[in-house]
Each structure stands twice: as structure tokens, then as C-alpha cells.
Chain A
Amino acid sequence: MHAVVCIKQVPDTQELQVDFDAGVIKRASVPLIVNPFDEFAIEEAVRLKEKHGGAVTALTMGPLSADEALRTALAMGCDAAVHLLDEAFEGSDTWATATVLAKALEKMGEYDVLFFGKATFDGDTGQVAPRVAALLQLPMLNFAAKIAEIDFDGKKVTVERLLETGREVVRANLPAVISVVKEINEPRYPSLLGIRRAKKVDVPTWDAAALALEKDSVGSKGSFAKLERIYRPPARAGGEIVPGEPVDAAKTVTEKLIDQGLI
């Protein structure tokens, strides 16, 4: 069994600092973490390995600092990691990111299942996984809350997808692309042993040339979506504490909601 987990290093949105005058997110001062949804993806892949044997590879496209994210994945139990690193990748939209990842996966060759997070915390598009699936012509199983059955010999996987009104149980052939939601598991903390082991793993870096990609076909040049401007969300009117005893306040609020036709 070979599972590949695609992960992204993201700024901790809670600590995020934005320079709205300059229209940029200040990356330097913000702690960087593994995208939280991707931790669920790592955990699920590692659990599969623990059950079925085989290996898990963590894959990321990102700047030098993204090496730390790969080390975290290794410390959580991934066996190998590949870092897609090239200045030409900078500014990639979801199309360009998926193009780079798909090329890397083609280069890797053999895999049974590809894991992704449901979305990233910073960009929050949830597009990279379905775009990779479309590029590689693989079945897409989005929003998986549970892997009900997986048969590596028979090349079949059954997952429960968490949709708005319930769960869809769907079966597809392997290899398949699976994106995961939080419910699927409880990610482990890396063990001390794991952290020590992770430091020693040799992580190859692949650049555009290694992937036989034209530099102009990726990064901001190879992207269709262009950012025009970032700005502060409009301030919410609000912050009104309704005066009076709680029970009276409840009456006042009910009246207001009825007056506004909300209830």
C-alpha cells in the first residue's frame, strides 16, 4: 500500500497580521502550522499503513519553510516526504498548484490513495483536491467522514461523505483522491521518537525542471485567477448589549426580532 498525503503549510489564522494599507498578509511574523485539515489527512493515511502495511509519503509545494510541515508529517508517522520547491511556483492559484502536484504524483508513479484536507485555512478554496483528481482522471471522494472499507487487492474503497443533509456512502476504484473532514479521526501528537526520526529523513526537493514543467505554466504566470486587492471586512454594526434583567432583555429582543419580521 502506498498512500500520498498532500499538505500545505499555512499561517496560523488566529495570529494572522494583515497590513491592510499595503494590502498584504505579513507572513514573517506569523507562526506557520500544518493546515489543520491536513493533519486529519496525515492521521488517516498513517492509520491505513498501521493496519495494512506499506508506506505513506507526504507531499507539499511551498517555500523553504514548508520543510517544517513535512517534518511534522514525518514525525506523525509518514515514511517519506517530497518538497516541491521553486521560486517559479510562487503565486500559484489552485489550477497551477494542482498542475504542479499532479506532475509530481505522475513522477512518483505508484500510489493507491491520495489524501487531502477538505480545504486550507488561509485560502479556503477546497479546490486543489478535485482539480488534481480531474487532471489525473481519478475518482474524487470529497468530504470523507469515514473510510468504511478499503481493499487494496481488489482496488476498491468505500467512504462516507458528509453532505448537507446526511451521509452518502459511495464506492470507487483505487487509486482514488479522498479529501477529509474533521470528523474522520483525532490526529495524534508526534512522539519524541517520531520527532527525532523525522529530523534524519532525507527529503528530496523537486523543482519545475525536475517535473518537466515550463516555468511560465506555473506560479503567478501560470495562474488564471488574479488577486486585485485585499481589504478589511466591513465592520459589523452591533455590539449592543440589551439592558435590563435577563428575562426582560429576552422580551425586548423577541419584540425587536418580531418587528423586523425575522421570526
Chain B
Amino acid sequence: MANDDYKGILVYIERRRDGTVAPVGPELLGKGRGLADKLGAELAAAAFGPGAAELSAELFAMGADNVYVVEHDLLKDFRPRPYAKALAQLAREAKPTVILAGATTQGRDLAAAAATYLKTGLSADCVGLEVDDAGLLKQTRVSCGGRVMSDWVTPEARPQFATVRPKVMKALEPDRSRAGETTHFNVDLTPDDDVGEVLSFLEAKETVNLGEADIIVSGGRGLGNPEGFELVRELAACLDAAVGASRAAVDAGWIEYAHQVGQTGRTVSPKLYVACGISGAVQHLAGMGTADVIVAINKDEEAPIFKIATYGIVGDLYEVVPALIEEIKNRRG
């Protein structure tokens, strides 16, 4: 089939466990709107699972022209196989030239399987996307632990498929006056596709959704002991931030692995990253080097973290962090 038959942009809308729209979907609609306008094509959103139809209005407001609602008994919980098969079926029918999904655990699982069913390429965890006049999507990635940027294209296969790092793209201001078309798409799934049964979900004790957090306060070996995280949590609490950690702190057993930022932990792009007692090893920078603003607190003025910190404070974190907390509280009244 000729590539010219493929038009428009399709954004997979990830939903949280409570059914609400995860922020990465609107972010991708924001980016997708720009790409679709450049191509003079439609921007579609795909929402799966029970109650998906009720999300239409919100998705139109965030930029979608068209919402595909996909409901099926096998699409109640997110499972990679039925979801990926459903997305592949939708793509064969709707023929978007570009599909975007969030580079979340769900998006990565789904996109890799769907791209395989569709026999197409996939760029993972993109931080930049552009289309040229011919409709070719340039997919920008960071790899090798943040040391290398690369641009990728999918010259022949369609759709062009990418997962995109959360918080890198900007959602549009919601415009409730926008309207669009809702299409119910019927998928063909069989019980054979029902692999894997979710037995339970163990909610994390504290916010560990580092990917969605606007602000992250992280602690490293410089805390000196596990109690140090109490101070980190106190600062995080007054900034409404999530708590992160270096691998050294995790390996010391001071905090759970789910909090680890870096090459063997999570990759994050918050608006503000506060590093307390973290030296700034390349493997740590790989996970947070794309934060908008970095504040580093370290008693060693030679620490590598200062090379990339927007604001570096040289000093004992046990002096600096309490001072920050006090100042923030004073300023905010």
C-alpha cells in the first residue's frame, strides 16, 4: 500500500487506574496538533476501555479532531496483548501516518507489541518530533546514558510510531468550545488474546510516580543515613514534590528502588529537580539531565553535579535544606 494512503496523527490516550486521562495523553495531543496542522491532516485520539466514550469532550478540548472509542470485554484492565492487538486493528483501519504513545511502562509495553503486529519501526522515549513537508517524521532520542542524541526516521513502513518521554511536550490550554467526532471502533479479540490475569495491585506507600511529578527532591549518599530522607521528604512535602534517590542511597537500603533516578532507575524530566548530597555520576545524570531547572546542594564544590546545576549551593545539606524549608514557608506565608 502506498504511503500516501496514510494520513493524520493518532495519539494513544493512556488512562490511570481510576480511568482518568494520564497527563502524557494531553501532552501528546498538544504536540500532535502542531504536527497535524503542518501536514494539513486530522489529529485523532484513541481511548480504550470502560467509560472511554465519556472522555471525548475532554480530548476535543485538548486538541483532538476525532476520538476513537474502543471498548471490549478484554480491554477492562490494561493487558499488553489485547490492547496492542486492538491498537493495531484500529491503525489498519484509520491509517494514521504517525502514532504516538507515552514512554511510560504501559506505553512502552503497548507500542512495542503493536508496532510488531503492524510490521513497522518504533522510536522509544523520544524527546523531539518534527515532520517535513513530505510527511516524514523525525524522531529525536537520547541514548547511551544521555551522552548521545540521535535522529531517526521510518522511510518506508507506515505508520511511523514513537513513544514520547512524559513532560517533554506541552499540552494546549483546554478549549471547551472545540468539538469533534466520536467514532466507536469495534475490535476483534478472542479469549486466546486474554493472556495474563491481574491478581492484585499493590499501591506504593508514597508518591513514586516520578515521571509525572513537576518537582522532584532527591537524596544521595551525602545524606549519610536513612533518617536523612526524613529531611528530603520534609522539603518535598512543602514543594508538593515527589521523592527521588541516587543508586547509592537505594543500594544502601535507605529507600526503595522505585525511587531511583538514573540509568538503572527511572528517567525523569521535571520542571525542577533538587539534588541533595548527590555527586552527579553520569548514570545519575542520564536519568535527570533533561530537567528544566536543577538545584544542587553538595558540600564539595568540585562535585560534577555543579557543572549542570542551574543553581548550585555549596554547603552541608543539613544546614542548607532546613534553610530552604524555612525560607519557602516564610515566603509563602
Contacts and interface: CB of A to CB of B under 8 A. Distances in A.
Interface stretch (A46-54, A83-91, A208-216, A237-245): A237-245
B51 interface: no
Given A126-B124, A131-B113, A247-B320, A142 B80 contact: yes
B84 interface: yes
Contacts of A139: 81, 195-196
Contact of B264 (A25, A37, A125, A130): A37
Interface string A137-167: 0111111010000000000001011111111
B122 A251 contact: no
Interface in B187-215: 195-204, 208-212, 215
Contacts of A223: 121
Interface residues of B, number: 92
Nearest to B105: A163
Chain B facing A: main interface SS? mixed
Interface string B106-134: 10110111011101111111000000000
Contacts of B306: 239, 241
A140 B319 contact: no
Given A18-B148, A124-B143, A253-B324, A134 B84 contact: yes
A59 B27 CA distance: 39
Nearest to B139: A225
Contacts of A123: 143
Contacts of A229: 150-151
B316 A246 contact: yes
Contact of B154 (A163, A224, A239): A224
Nearest to B281: A14
B200 A169 contact: yes
B32 to A, nearest CB: 20
Nearest to B142: A233
B112 A237 contact: no
Contact of A173 (B150, B195, B264): B195
A139 B310 CA distance: 45
Given A13-B147, A126-B112, A233-B147, A165 B327 contact: no
Interface stretch (B56-64, B68-76, B224-232, B287-295): B287-295
B182 interface: no
14 contacts: A14-B283, A129-B112, A130-B112, A140-B80, A164-B210, A166-B201, A168-B198, A170-B196, A229-B150, A242-B313, A246-B319, A257-B295, A262-B293, A263-B272
